[in-house]
Amino acid sequence: MRRVFLFILPILIIVSAAFTLFGFFQVRFEEEKLIDDLKRKAKSVAESMELSVQHVLSANDLKNANYLAEKFETRERLQGCVIYDKDGNIIALTKRFGDWKEKDKPYIKDIIANKTPRGELEKFKDYQVYSYILPIVDDAGQFLGMVEVIHDTSYVFARLTELWKRISSTLIILVVVIFIISIFLHRQIFALPVQRLTDWFKHFQKGETDEAHPIREKGDLGKLASEVEQVALSLRVARRTISDEAQARMEKEEIWTEAKLKDLVHAKLGENALFIVSNREPYMHTIDEATGLEQCIRPASGVVTAIHPVLCACGGTWVAHGAGNADKKFVNSKDKLGVPPKDIRYILKRVWLDKEEEDGYYYGFSNEGLWPLCHNTHTRPVFRELDWQAYKKVNQKFADSVLEELPVKHPFVFIQDYHFTLLGKMIKERRPDATIALFWHIPWPTPEAFSICPYRKEILEGMLGCDLIGFHVQNHCNNFLDTANRLLESRVDIEKFSIVRSEKETFVRAFPISVNGHFNQAAKDADIKREIDKIKKEFDLEGKIIGLGVDRIDYTKGIVERVLAIDRFLEKYPQYKKKFVFIQLAAPSRVHIKRYHDLMAEIDELIEKKNWKYSDSGWKPIVYLKRHFSLDEIEPFYKMADLCIVSSLHDGMNLVAKEYVAARKDLSGSLILSQFTGAARELVDAIQVNPYSIEEFADSIQLVLQMPQDEKTKRMEKMRKVISENNVYRWAGNIITELAALKKV
Ligand code: ADQ
């Protein structure tokens, strides 16, 4: 609209100026005409009186002089007459001009002297008049006196004012008409064709064919549109060729790589791009309140760690909550941006939530309700009706945001985690042709445990809107099937491992998630070595045995139990005092939830207490680094640690365990892994522990430290093989293969 105004404004200024100028000349012309008319009238009235006044003055007939003057009293418009004697004295005067006597009239002398008539516009008191004075002479040429005809001119100005009013209202009408016509023309000539083109682009983006939505534009815009149509066509042909080539290549390769996943996506999904939905975004823009510096960080999240390499490999759109305090600064008008920032591979679309929504949906229902409900860690879930309402509202908001993006034909939507249990159903209701998968990154509890949730039915129904539901391990799949069987009216097909409800079938499968087979790869070996030296120097680690923990601070991760186990280990095996240092990297998370807040305080206090208990000549057993670390920062820790402890009390998978193994190219290092993680099913060569059993846990640390290097190497080698074969590309490849098999054509 601003542009339309900028376009119309100069036209309006020019038209108004021209019209005002025209009006000005017209008024001037009218004024001259009226005054001229007035002059002529006054002159002819004075001349018509000449004889009568001559007679009156010759006879000095005052009575008739007054009679003549009084006759003007009845004339229309304000007119008057004054009769002067030969000395210029007034002898008769129309009553309504009585004040005229008082007027100073220096010109009378000149008229007497020159005996020439005088006509002038005069102003006196309230009068605005035209005065015409005619000298009267007798037949012998003797000067007898004068007669003055006075004519009021105010009607002239009234007429001119009226004229100005008419001109102004015509101008206003003209401006309005021009404005309306310009808007109309702008809409017809420019806005509508551009809108049609934009719609066409949108249809093209969504994958609609040209036959269904051909470009109809003519003229210059039509030329532009037809060029775009050609590009679109070539793109489509190129994509088809790529998918055929991809199919051939994929069949040849065995190990899953980024390239193989890319080929699979092209071969299986063809032109249909992938849409990922998750709560956590892969890149978050923040402003450091202290320094004012802008930063782009990768949040500490297993979901991000797993999905990011997949989208880097196959492109697509990732829809997530824009949670960074500077996120809004970095998106375009559609709330999108290309990521990774320096090597754009896919689109991130940010969805904005207000504080109330975030509080109810994320902190409340998702993390105080569903998270403890699904993790067997004895933290009581809290279900509040208000949180549930916010959760439903936010699921709908995400559904709307995803639906806006979906192409016309058979889109693939891949939803992540427990934040979006209702999303599958919401999308399916409006796009039954969409193929939808949900991956559940956390454990699924037993039916008895799940049944305490007041909203269990809606949640299960929402999830069964998806075509495929994935869990990390078979046990979680079994629990889910049992839950649906017991809590919903549905039919479970054990052969196909699916649930049928209202004639809609949902397949349930285990897809153990992983990392990309190596860790980071961005940094060079020499740089990492330098970093390791720096860290060792900073924390006085030279010659020490280094243990490592890397976690989001969460009660499921068993950090407290880990510290207690280290304490017990040092108690039981005091020979390791001053020789063993445990480094704990801990990213604060969900800090607005009391349970997390309390946990942070508990860990702080416990570590402080244990360090105080053992500290000796500058040595302390635990180095606690409580902050978020980038991949580049974590890598040297993984590479220098002699052992890594993952002691989750319950965990869907746990990617830290896999990252540590992936980072150990040198085949040294040992992993102590909780038996309650999903990762424990695959990493059978890790030293597995029950983190609740502090005694056993402490002994396992000692066991690792005593283990011959040969055995450590063998175990690490086997674990690395598992990870490189079952990497995240395979995980995504398996899901996409399943999805493509379900494709709603
Ligand atoms: P999370 O509970 O987040 O994931 P996890 O799988 O261990 O747990 O992944 C954590 C990620 O955060 C790792 O990539 C790790 O490197 C990173 N991280 C940890 N501490 C960090 C720190 N201090 N600074 C920066 N980054 C840090 C959820 C489920 C898991 C499941 C994953 C993937 O709870 O069970 O394995 O999703 O499905």
The DSSP line for 549-572 is EEEES-GGG-HHHHHHHHHHHHHH
Residue 297: strand, helix, or coil: strand
Mutate to test the pocket of ligand 1, among 514, 559, 654 (most ligand atoms within 8 A of CB): 654
Atom 10 (ligand 1): residue with closest C-alpha?
302
Q: Report the separation in Å between the CA atom of 553 and the middle of ligand 1, taken as the mean of its atom positions.
A: 10
Instruction: Return d(Cα 201, Cα 187) in angstroms, integer.
Output: 19
Instruction: Return d(Cα 320, Cα 7) in angstroms, integer.
Output: 40
* CATH topology assigned to domain 274-510: Rossmann fold (3.40.50)
Instruction: Return d(Cα 139, Cα 137) in angstroms, integer.
Output: 7
> The tokens 């053992």 sit on which residue?
614
Instruction: Return d(Cα 323, Cα 281) in angstroms, integer.
Output: 8
Atom 2 (ligand 1): residue with closest C-alpha?
302
Q: How does residue 516 score in pLDDT terms, banded at 50, 70 and 90?
A: confident
Q: How does residue 360 score in pLDDT terms, banded at 50, 70 and 90?
A: very high
Q: Report the separation in Å between the CA atom of 313 and the middle of ligand 1, taken as the mean of its atom positions.
A: 21
Q: For the residues 306-328, what does the mean pLDDT come to?
A: 91
Q: Residues 702, 572: contact at Cβ < 8 Å?
A: yes
One-character DSSP codes across 360-375: IIIIIIIIIIIHHHHS
Percent of the chain scoring above 90 in pLDDT: 64
Q: Residues 584, 607: contact at Cβ < 8 Å?
A: yes
Q: Report the separation in Å between the CA atom of 635 and the middle of ligand 1, taken as the mean of its atom positions.
A: 14
pLDDT at 121 over 50: yes
The residues, any chain, with a CB within 8 Å of residue 648's CB and separated by 6 or more, are 556, 557, 558, 654, 674, 676, 677, 691
The residues, any chain, with a CB within 8 Å of residue 383's CB and separated by 6 or more, are 365, 369, 453, 454, 455
> The tokens 């993984």 sit on which residue?
638
pLDDT at 649 over 90: yes
Residue 554 Cα: closest atom of ligand 1: 2
Q: Report the separation in Å between the CA atom of 303 and the middle of ligand 1, taken as the mean of its atom positions.
A: 7
Out of 28-37, 451-460, 528-537, 613-622, pick the least confident. Answer: 28-37
Q: Report the separation in Å between the CA atom of 550 and the middle of ligand 1, taken as the mean of its atom positions.
A: 8
Out of 56-60, 105-109, 239-243, pick the least confident. Answer: 239-243
Q: Report the separation in Å between the CA atom of 302 and the middle of ligand 1, taken as the mean of its atom positions.
A: 4
Q: Taken in order 88, 92, 94, 96, is the CA torsion positive or negative?
A: positive
One-character DSSP codes across 12-63: HHHHHHHHHHHHHHHHHHHHHHHHHHHHHHHHHHHHHHHHHHHHHHHTT-HH
Residue 652 Cα: closest atom of ligand 1: 35
Q: Report the separation in Å between the CA atom of 634 and the middle of ligand 1, taken as the mean of its atom positions.
A: 12
Mutate to test the pocket of ligand 1, among 518, 590, 656, 671 (most ligand atoms within 8 A of CB): 656
Q: Report the separation in Å between the CA atom of 444 and the middle of ligand 1, taken as the mean of its atom positions.
A: 18
One fold for 49-152 and 536-726: no
Q: Report the separation in Å between the CA atom of 301 and the middle of ligand 1, taken as the mean of its atom positions.
A: 4
Instruction: Return d(Cα 708, Cα 68) in angstroms, integer.
Output: 145
Residue 245 burial (CB count, 10 A):
13
Out of 23-32, 96-105, 205-214, pick the least confident. Answer: 205-214
Q: What is the mean pLDDT of the chain?
A: 90
Alpha carbon distances (Å) from 25 to 91, 167, 197, 727: 43, 11, 49, 88
Q: Report the separation in Å between the CA atom of 400 and the middle of ligand 1, taken as the mean of its atom positions.
A: 29
pLDDT at 726 over 50: yes
Out of 6-15, 328-337, 703-712, pick the least confident. Answer: 6-15
pLDDT at 617 over 70: yes
Residue 651 Cα: closest atom of ligand 1: 35
Q: Report the separation in Å between the CA atom of 654 and the middle of ligand 1, taken as the mean of its atom positions.
A: 7
Atom 38 (ligand 1): residue with closest C-alpha?
441
Atom 32 (ligand 1): residue with closest C-alpha?
302
Atom 17 (ligand 1): residue with closest C-alpha?
300
- HEC string of 223-268 equals HHHHHHHHHHHHHHHHHHHHHHHHHHHHHHCCCCCHHHHHHHHHHH
Give burial (CB, 10 Å; 0-12/13-18/19+) of 109.
exposed
Q: Report the separation in Å between the CA atom of 745 and the middle of ligand 1, taken as the mean of its atom positions.
A: 37
Domain regions of the chain by residue span? 49-152, 220-263, 274-510, 536-726
Out of 187-191, 648-652, 667-671, pick the least confident. Answer: 187-191
pLDDT at 558: 98
pLDDT at 693: 98
Residue 89 burial (CB count, 10 A):
11
Residue 679 Cα: closest atom of ligand 1: 36
Q: For the residues 544-553, what does the mean pLDDT come to?
A: 98
pLDDT at 210: 55
Mutate to test the pocket of ligand 1, among 518, 550, 681 (most ligand atoms within 8 A of CB): 550
Q: Which amino acid is at 744?
A: K
Instruction: Return d(Cα 189, Cα 331) in angstroms, integer.
Output: 31
Ligand 1 shell residues, CB under 6 Å: 300-303, 305-306, 441-442, 513, 550-552, 585-587, 628-629, 634, 651-656, 659
DSSP letter at 380 equals P
* Residue 402 Cα to chain centre, angstroms: 14
pLDDT in tens, 370-414: 999 999 999 999 999 999 999 999 999 999 999 999 988 888 999
Instruction: Return d(Cα 515, Cα 627) in angstroms, integer.
Output: 22
* CATH topology assigned to domain 536-726: Rossmann fold (3.40.50)
pLDDT at 489 over 70: yes
Q: For the residues 278-284, what does the mean pLDDT come to?
A: 97
Nearest alpha carbon to residue 581 among 621, 540, 532: 621
Atom 8 (ligand 1): residue with closest C-alpha?
302
Query: What is the rounded end-to-end Cα distance, in angstroms, of the chain?
Result: 43
Residue 305 Cα: closest atom of ligand 1: 14
Superfamily of domain 49-152 in the CATH hierarchy: PAS domain (3.30.450.20)
Out of 140-144, 226-230, 600-604, 627-631, pick the least confident. Answer: 226-230
Q: Which amino acid is at 49?
A: M
Angle, helices 474-487 vs 456-463, to 10°: value is 120
pLDDT at 131 over 90: yes
**Residue 505 forms beta bridges with which residues?**
500
Residue 578: strand, helix, or coil: coil
Buried b (16+ CB within 10 A) or exposed e, 148-171: bbbbbbeebeeebeeeeeebeeeb
pLDDT in tens, 576-593: 999 999 999 999 999 999
Atom 20 (ligand 1): residue with closest C-alpha?
551
DSSP letter at 74 equals G
Residue 381: strand, helix, or coil: coil
Q: Report the separation in Å between the CA atom of 231 and the middle of ligand 1, taken as the mean of its atom positions.
A: 42
DSSP letter at 379 equals P
Q: How does residue 569 score in pLDDT terms, banded at 50, 70 and 90?
A: very high
pTM comes to 0.72
Tell me the range of 3-7, 135-139, 387-391, 494-498 where mean pLDDT is highest: 387-391
Atom 35 (ligand 1): residue with closest C-alpha?
652
Q: Taken in order 88, 92, 93, 99, is the CA torsion positive or negative?
A: positive
Residue 439 Cα: closest atom of ligand 1: 38
pLDDT in tens, 60-100: 898 999 998 888 877 767 678 999 999 999 999 998 888 88
Alpha carbon distances (Å) from 569 to 401, 575, 691, 701: 52, 10, 13, 7
Q: How does residue 428 score in pLDDT terms, banded at 50, 70 and 90?
A: very high
Q: Residues 428, 434: contact at Cβ < 8 Å?
A: yes
Tokens linked to 57 = 């003055």
Q: How does residue 250 score in pLDDT terms, banded at 50, 70 and 90?
A: low
Atom 1 (ligand 1): residue with closest C-alpha?
302
Q: Report the separation in Å between the CA atom of 299 and the middle of ligand 1, taken as the mean of its atom positions.
A: 9
Atom 27 (ligand 1): residue with closest C-alpha?
300
Atom 18 (ligand 1): residue with closest C-alpha?
300
pLDDT at 745: 46
Q: Report the separation in Å between the CA atom of 383 and the middle of ligand 1, taken as the mean of its atom positions.
A: 25
pLDDT at 2: 74
